[in-house]
Amino acid sequence: MADVQTTLVLIKPDGVQRSLAGEIITRLERRGLKLVGMKLIQIDEALANRHYEAHVGKPFFPGLVQFITSSPVVALAVQGKNSIEVVRQTMGATDPKSADSGTVRGDLGLDIGRNLVHGSDSPEAAAHELSLFFGSGEIIDWERSIDGWITE
């Protein structure tokens, strides 16, 4: 299917420290999305700088790098129909205070600097970010028997 996309999700250090990794993965799975890559990693400063390249120079950038490198994250490669948009909708708005109820950030977060999850925002960003976090062979293209019950 042409509209099947693979996107990068990070469960940020606050999500892992608060033992919300399972809850967040469950929400993605229940949406119908498929996990095609998953690992726990400690992001170093070099990777943080590359991942958040678009935010270099913004006032929150130093704090963001400090936070994302402070403790392990769970990196997920998530596949499904329109997964880039669907993941971001499932995550909710960047600032949890304006994120809708029913979203990860709207239900589980309070602070923009502790907003639990990252999701790629475009096909170009997804391809780039997946290549930062997953090597060749670490994304698994597997068949799921329920796929026909999730998408036509």
- Residues of this chain that interact with Mg ion (CB under 5 A) are 121
- Please identify, using beta-carbon distances, which residue of 85 and 121 lies nearer to Mg ion: 121
Active site residue 118: yes
Rounded to a whole number of angstroms, the minimum distance from the CB of residue 98 to ligand IDP is 11
Within 53-92, which residues bind ligand IDP (CB under 6 A)? 55, 60, 64
Distances (CA, A) of 63 to 11, 21, 56, 58, 87: 17, 22, 11, 10, 25
Q: Residue 60: which of 133, 25, 111, 9 has the closest Cα?
A: 111
**Residue 94 contacts which entry, Mg ion, ligand IDP, none (Cβ below 5-8 A, type-dependent):** ligand IDP
Find residue 80's DSSP bridge partners. Answer: 5
The reply on whether position 102 binds ligand IDP by CB under 6 A is no
- Pairing verdict, β 34-41 and 73-81: antiparallel
Q: Quick one: 26 or 94, whose CB is closer to ligand IDP?
A: 94
60 binds, among ligand IDP, Mg ion, none (CB under 5 to 8 A by kind): ligand IDP
Is 109 buried (19+), middle (13-18) or exposed (0-12) by CB count in 10 A?
A: buried
Catalytic residues: 118
